[in-house]
Amino acid sequence: MSVGRRSIPFNRPYVTGREYDYLREAVATSHLAGNGRFTARCQAWLEERLGCRRALLTHSCTGALEMAAILTGVQAGDEVILPSFTFVSTANAFVLRGATPVFVDIRPDTLNLDERLVEAAITARTRAIVPVHYAGIGCDSVALGAIAAPRQLVVIEDAAQGILATRNGRPLGTAGQLAALSFHETKNVMAGEGGALLINDPAFVDRAETVWEKGTDRSRFFRGHVDKYTWQDLGSSFQLSEIAAAFLWAQLGEADAITAARLAIWNTYHDAFAPLEQRGFVRRPVVPAGCEHNAHLYYLLLPDPSCRCAVLKRLNEEGVNAIFHYVPLHTSPAGRRFGRAVGSMTETLAASERLIRLPLWVGMPAEDVHYVIDAVATALEHV
Ligand SMILES: *Cc1c(COP(=O)(O)O)cnc(C)c1O
């Protein structure tokens, strides 16, 4: 392969084109702060499509997780069980409330929190379990619910990567009492920055609105239930600006088409890498029975860390911007300071050291997809 003029980005944010119309509409209404017309539209869409009790748009998934931590009432000394193979916000949201993240290993197949290891990590201080749906492939929420329910633990799904994916017919983000979505530029459906808190347990709905309204009863005031609004509870500035909500509304309108376009590329990769997997060069993503994923990302696991390093180097030289993923939180400086790991973290370390993610974005030309496939095959033959 010639050293390419080609440069294939890892991600290129997809814009539907209708964003500009809705932005103009938002500006014309003169309501540009949060909780306006576009926020209401996006929230209603999420409530209908996903079937959650209430959806609240937030400035980020990080913000939605912080709201969930407030709503759960975790405090200093409390413990929250979560994977170490995740983004920092999954843990940080709870550390901000003084809680201790307790890291548990992931399953070798899905790279999701290993539900078989969760019980051993539960103590008298455990308050919540926070699974992540890695790559938009659903974790076993049924098993986690069965562990959590008898102990009154709250399940909070970090569904940042999970929009429109399902497990056993159920949309990700609707199995736990609370869930968080991300609309960050790197996610399937995006608004630059953005997120949503999904509330499935009705007991959290009223308080969630207060926390979302900076700790005031402003929502009740607007509905005419109180004659002035005041500071009622903990809260912060969690809402999404109407500018971003207008942008998001255009994206949600094409969410199914976006998912389908991503799945087509994902499936092309998956079929092309089957022979490499048969020869033992790579391990492809595993999608368990009953899971419909959303092609959030395509990853490969390479045989060992030095091979991963060499393949990434070679792909980058060929203009393919493949990248690694999480540094395990339990090995990070803040993770060591604020949390602890329970049991062996073998699979977490293995995934972290051996995984690469390939370029995948809506509008990616078929020839680029095939260029990436050839570049991966060639790189593997040379390491
Ligand atoms: C992207 C992501 C987040 C953070 O999302 P933001 O919207 O950027 O705050 C949290 N958790 C996971 C698993 C993510 O992939």
> Is residue 335 a part of any domain in this protein?
yes
Tell whether 120 and 96 lie within a shared domain: yes
Tally of domains within the chain: 2
* Last-in-domain residue among 224, 253, 282: 253
In a domain, 1, yes or no: no
Considering the domain architecture, whether residues 343 and 221 belong to the same structural domain is answered as no
From ligand 1's centre to the CA of 89, what distance in Å? 7
Expressed in angstroms and rounded, the spacing between residue 62 Cα and the centre of ligand 1 is 6
Its pTM stands at 0.97
Q: Are 97 and 38 members of one domain?
A: yes
- Where a domain ends, among 216, 232, 253? 253
Ligand 1 pocket test: which of 86, 89, 161 has the largest number of ligand atoms within 8 Å of its C-beta?
89
Residue from 62, 65, 92, 297 to probe ligand 1 pocket by mutation (most atoms less than 8 Å from CB):
62
Domain boundary among 253, 269, 294: 253
For ligand 1, the distance from its centroid to the CA atom of residue 279, given in whole angstroms, is 34
Structure tokens at 45: 């869409």
Centre of ligand 1 to C-alpha 76, Å, is: 24
Residue 123 burial (C-beta neighbours within 10 Å; 0-12, 13-18, 19+): exposed
Query: HSE of 161 in the Cβ direction (CA atoms, 13 Å)?
Result: 20
9, part of any domain: no
Which of 304, 313, 286 shows the shortest CA–CA distance to 378?
313
CATH code for position 32: 3.40.640.10
Digit-by-digit pLDDT tens for the chain (383 residues) are 455 568 999 999 999 999 999 999 999 999 999 999 999 999 999 999 999 999 999 999 999 999 999 999 999 999 999 999 999 999 999 999 999 999 999 999 999 999 999 999 999 999 999 999 999 999 999 999 999 999 999 999 999 999 999 999 999 999 999 999 999 999 999 999 999 999 999 999 999 999 999 999 998 888 898 899 999 999 999 999 999 999 999 999 999 999 999 999 999 999 999 999 999 999 999 999 999 999 999 999 999 999 999 999 999 999 999 999 999 999 999 999 999 999 999 999 999 999 999 999 999 999 999 999 999 999 999 88
> Which H/E stretch holds residue 338?
helix 333-338
Angle between helices 205-212 and 61-72 (to 10 degrees): 130
209 in a structural domain: yes
In this structure, the answer to whether residues 306 and 199 fall within a common structural domain is no
> Residue 334 sits in a domain of what CATH number?
3.90.1150.10
**Residue 238 sits in the same domain as residue 263:** no
Residue 4: inside a domain, yes or no?
A: no
Q: Which residues contact 283 (CB under 8 A, 6 or more apart)?
A: 277, 300, 301
Look at residue 12 and tell me if it is in a domain.
no
Ligand 1 centre distance from Cα of residue 362 (Å): 20
Q: Are residues 266 and 135 in the same domain?
A: no
- Do residue 248 and residue 266 come from a single domain? no
Ligand 1 pocket (Cβ < 6 Å) reads 60-62, 86-87, 89-90, 132, 158, 160-161, 182, 184, 195
Asked if residue 65 and residue 38 are part of one domain, the reply reads yes
CA distance 272 to 376: 10
Domain interval for residue 244: 19-253
Six token digits for residue 314: 């070679």
Could you tell me if residue 105 is inside a domain?
yes
- Kindly report the backbone phi and psi dihedral angles of residue 71, in degrees, each rounded to the nearest multiple of 5, phi listed first: -65, -35
